[in-house]
């Protein structure tokens, strides 16, 4: 998703499709019931479909535990990561710091989510990844920009991968050279059979005894 690995989003989607059951079999009806609203003509229903993934406990609110997992397991540089941080900032400002004028905690329900995120980035991503279309359809100029951004992201990932492989090769080569150097030193430090040792020096008291 978003050109990056996003395990937490995959986990949230599975929990929603499987109704929180482990190793569940997901049929087409379950799949459609969760994802069909992402291509609904109503903007409000599309955003509700995105919110439904956030509130995995089906309680109508985004839990603090879910927020903590989202922050730890999402990339803050992606659109999804930035969206998560916006929700966390609202929770911190309204429910933790409790500024003057707030007599009660603000629930992170759909109205709060909708005011913070009027159009979730998940909508376009799921429309494109799952259904291969955009509703409403986007202008060709915008699609061109999105495709170009995706190409640049893929090129950057390939460059980073190549750079990492090059660095790993250099490190491996350095380690091999170190091992060769150590083995050469240990081999030269021992006395070989062909090596001729100098005759021992006779101390002065031995000369006196011989006389």
145, part of any domain? no
Q: What is the 3-state secondary structure (H, E, C) of the chain?
A: CCCCCCHHHHHHHHHHHHCCCCCCCCCHHHHHHHHHHHHCCCHHHHHHHHHHHHCCCCCCCCCHHHHHHHHHHCCCCCHHHHHHHHHHHHHHHHHHCCCCCCCCCCCCCHHHHHHHCCCCHHHHHHHHHHHCCCCCCCCHHHHHHHHHHHHHHHHHHHHHHHHHHHHHHHHHHHHHHHHHHHHHHHHHHCCCCCCCCCCCCCCHHHHHHHC
Q: Is residue 142 part of a domain?
A: no
Residue 90 has pLDDT above 90, yes or no: no
Q: What pTM was estimated for this model as a whole?
A: 0.60
How high is the mean pLDDT of the chain? 76
For residue range 98-135, list pLDDT tens digits in order. Answer: 555 555 677 889 999 999 999 999 998 888 888 888 88
Q: Tell me if 62 is assigned to some domain.
A: yes
CATH number at residue 23: 1.10.238
Residue 76 has a pLDDT of 86
Q: Is the pLDDT of residue 178 over 50?
A: yes
Tell me if 193 is assigned to some domain: no
In a domain, 180, yes or no: no
Q: Does the pLDDT at position 190 exceed 70?
A: no
Distance between CA atoms of residues 185 and 177, nearest Å: 12
pLDDT of residue 182: 66
Lowest mean pLDDT among 14-28, 77-91, 197-211: 197-211
As for how many domains the chain has, the answer is 1
Which structural domain range is residue 20 located in? 7-132
Q: Which of 8-12, 149-153, 199-203 has the lowest mean pLDDT?
A: 199-203
In which band, very low, low, confident or very high, does the pLDDT at 188 lie, cut at 50, 70 and 90? Answer: low
**Residue 170 resides in a domain:** no
Q: pLDDT: is 92 or 40 the higher one?
A: 40
Specify if 15 maps to a domain.
yes
């Amino acid at each position: 998703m978003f050109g990056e690995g996003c395990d937490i989003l995959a986990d949230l989607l599975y929990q929603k499709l499987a109704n929180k059951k482990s190793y569940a079999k997901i049929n087409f009806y379950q799949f459609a019931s969760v994802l069909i609203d992402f291509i609904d003509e109503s903007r409000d229903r599309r955003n509700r479909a995105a919110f439904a993934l956030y509130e995995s406990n089906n309680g109508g609110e985004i839990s603090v535990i879910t927020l903590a997992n989202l922050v730890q397991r999402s990339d803050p540089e992606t659109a999804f990561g930035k969206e998560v941080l916006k929700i966390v900032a609202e929770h911190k400002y309204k429910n933790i710091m409790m500024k003057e004028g707030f007599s009660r905690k603000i629930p992170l329900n759909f109205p709060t989510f909708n005011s913070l995120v009027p159009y979730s980035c998940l909508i376009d991503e799921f429309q494109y990844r799952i259904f291969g279309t955009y509703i409403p359809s986007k202008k060709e100029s915008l699609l061109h920009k999105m495709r170009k951004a995706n190409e640049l992201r893929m090129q950057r990932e390939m460059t980073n991968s190549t750079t990492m492989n090059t660095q790993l090769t250099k490190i491996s080569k350095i380690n091999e050279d170190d091992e060769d150097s150590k083995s050469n030193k240990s081999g030269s430090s021992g006395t070989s059979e062909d090596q001729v040792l100098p005759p021992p020096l006779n101390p002065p008291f031995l000369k006196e005894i011989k006389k």
